[in-house]
Amino acid sequence: MEYQEAVAYIYEIPKFSSKHSLDYTRDFLHRLGDPQKQFETIHVAGSNGKGSVCAMIHSVLFTSGVRVGLFTSPHLVHLTERFVVNGEKVEEETFLRAFHKVKNVVDDMVKEGASHPTFFEFIFAVGMVIFREAKVDMAVIETGLGGRLDATNVLRKPFATVITSISLEHTEYLGDTLQKIASEKAGILKQGVPVIFDAKIREVADVIFAAARPLKAPTYPVYPGDIEIVSRGQDGISFVFDLDGHKKPVKIPFVADYQVENAALAMEVCELLIKRGTISLESFYKGMSKVQWQGRMQKIDENIYLDGAHNPDGMKQFVACVSQMKEKPRRLLFSMVKEKDATLSISILSRGLAFSKIVVTEIEGARKLSASWMAEEFKKHTHAEVIVEPSPVKAFDAVKKGAEGETIFCTGSLYLIGEILKIKEDYHD
């Protein structure tokens, strides 16, 4: 198979597979030679911010001279974005070599009567093979959905586990309360392995403390009250968070305040790495200053911002960030997927921000939410002009038309952000 054929094959997997147990994933990886055991790992779960935290830790390790891999999801434009080695997404040829190794094993499993891995199980295996072949020293691994039953939870003993902010998401799979969801995320904790976590919600923190106790896992809670923002600007935010007694301000190249809390989580992990001698304090500051992570209040044009807020908690953070930016007048391009509580998200967005024009579009696939339905929800809360345009390409054109002097914000789904970045890429091609 060539690259495009391999990608097409992977995208077809959801049509004929279903989720398996962790024992299945362990056997699957064992057949591949247990690639995940060939390097150290840092394992990150959570509802919001886990990709950003992973990117920050990866940037610091890379800057420090550690050969490091990064496995995240979803991708925005290209499947290969999910696999990063030393700051660069892998080449198509590298991906293809790992794909064929994995597919050969899968073909043998199917011949023996075993079921086919899911989309996520397959690409997780591809990622682990890529990192083994690249001879990484450490890999930063983001969970897919949840934690306890996630395919990534076959990692035996990470250097550290991280749980970012928790909110109500995927309630049909993870539970209908914050405590239940936190319990699922805390399923990644391991015996004696430090856990760094967002402790701003008391009931969530209590669940994580309780899960860590019998495992004798050292706990490192991060409280927002311990973080002090020093300055904000178009090129980023500077803040102070106690790093082993060091009070020097940390600069991150993001404009959204919520990234400061993510950075504090990454800092706690880095403090442990500094104490072990894996990285230096100097490389920590340098690595944090040049983190790259697409789709998080990302400015792609003079008046266009993209943000991957995709659930009610993310919308609250998005509203707070845009309110501080004081960009007016504003336009909105919006879409969400089915399971993310669009009703509450639209309410939060409409009550928190005023827009002169709102364009609602759809993301294709089984998770598609009707643009017409979302538009009706917006009309309950706003007097702004609301336009329905199911095609993301046409929707992007519609929100830009006549927008001189206005700022456009695109949010609601990382899939929408991916569509816009693809449109921009196609235009430049």
Report the amino acid identity of residue 308: G
Confidence of residue 427 (pLDDT cuts 50, 70, 90): low
Q: Quick: pLDDT tens for 11-43.
A: 999 888 888 999 999 999 999 999 999 999 999
3-289 maps to which CATH number?
Answer: 3.40.1190.10
The pLDDT of residue 171 is above 70:
no
User: CATH code for 298-428?
Assistant: 3.90.190.20
Looking at residues 96-122, what average pLDDT do you find? Answer: 97
Range(s) for CATH 3.90.190.20 in the chain? 298-428
Strand 68-71 relative to strand 407-411: parallel, antiparallel, unpaired? Answer: unpaired
C-alpha torsion sign, points 375, 377, 380, 382 = negative
3-state secondary structure of 93: helix
Strand order in the sheet with 330-334: 298-301, 304-306, 407-411, 330-334, 357-360, 385-388
pLDDT at 78 over 60: yes
pLDDT at 402: 92
pLDDT per residue as tens digits for the range 331-349: 999 999 887 789 999 999 9
Residues 163 and 186 sit within 8 Å (Cβ to Cβ): yes
Q: Which residues of 315-335 are buried (b: 16+ CB within 10 A; e: fewer)?
A: bbbbbebbeebeeeebbbbbb
- For residue 190, give the DSSP letter: -
Length of the chain (residues): 429
- Residue limits of CATH 3.40.1190.10 in the chain: 3-289
Phi then psi dihedrals of residue 305, to 5 deg = -120, 140
What angle do the packed helices 22-31 and 119-133 form, to 10 degrees? Answer: 40
Q: What digits encode the pLDDT tens for the residues 49-73?
A: 999 999 999 999 999 999 999 999 9
Instruction: Quote the CA–CA distance of 276 and 272 in Å, as a whole number.
Output: 6
- pTM for this structure? 0.88
Q: What are the Cα distances from residue 81, in Å, to 88, 121, 302?
A: 9, 17, 25
